[in-house]
Amino acid sequence: MSLFLRGIFDSARKERRACFLPYICVGFPTYALSLRMAMAALDAGSDALELGIPFSDPVADGPTLQRATHRSLLQGTKVIDAFRLIRSLRRAGYHQPILAMTYLNPVERMGWSTFTKALRDAGGDGMIVPDLPTDEMRAPAALLRRHGLALIPFLSPVSPASRVRMAESLKAPFLYYVSVTGVTGARKGIASGLLARLRVLRRSLKTPVVVGFGISGPRQARSIGREAGGVIIASAIIDLVERAPAGRLPVVVGRFCRTVVQALRME
């Protein structure tokens, strides 16, 4: 599965485009709607999916994602619901890679081995754990690799060269670049110096870089996609979900994802 995840970047590069990985929060606004929105995002041509597992202390999340995860938790969403949703997507015939975005506490509580096997058995492809330091990733990354899964390291605007080398040494399918020194949330403009920094990383790294945090829509995605292997959009999707009628949510999410997918084509 990790090899399959790596393959989406190879395919995108040949097609002169960047990958799109939208974020869907499990159980927001309901479990059924989160499943339908995930389907709509994948039907729209998204290359992979970041599936957020709600947690009570999401230290990397801004107000938008905090509202979504809090609302999901109030409805009783559990970690196992993420595995259930992944299984439902696989049974429905969706083959794009799916990454579970979770914080460290739920993984530690379940146990790395148990969590990894459950994710593998559900049909997941890997994990994104924002509060797991890069220095502590080697052992869990090796565990996930043994099960065919990937653990995605983070980089940020303040990552020194030594941390960049450490992240790439983990041999993940991609590196998650946090575009701002702050929490998640859609922003009006691209962070100062981001594109220049991405050019440097693109020249120096063999591993694709995917940019998240602060990307609000197709225009920003297109500019960033010219310098990166892909983009992740989360808060802007949650903003759409909060504003749209429940009956229209899959349509609204699908339409948004389609515009981003089209914007990331470089021809």
In order of their start, the domains of the chain are: 2-263 (3.20.20.70)
Ranges of beta strands (E only) in 15-66 are 19-25, 49-52
| Active-site residue, from 50, 81, 125, 168 | 50
Instruction: Give me the pLDDT at residue 205, please.
Output: 95
- Concerning whether 168 is annotated as a catalytic residue, the answer is no
Question: Based on the number of CB atoms within 10 Å of its own CB, is 246 exposed (0-12), middle (13-18) or buried (19 or more)?
Answer: exposed
Instruction: Give me the pLDDT at residue 213, please.
Output: 84
Instruction: Give me the pLDDT at residue 185, please.
Output: 40
Instruction: Give me the pLDDT at residue 147, please.
Output: 96
The rounded average pLDDT for each run of 10 residues, N- to C-terminus, in the chain (267 residues) is: 82 95 97 98 98 88 88 96 98 98 96 98 97 95 96 92 94 90 50 86 94 89 94 94 94 98 88
| Active-site residue, from 47, 57, 61, 121 | 61
> Model's pTM, two decimal places?
0.92
Sign of CA dihedral 198, 199, 200, 206: positive
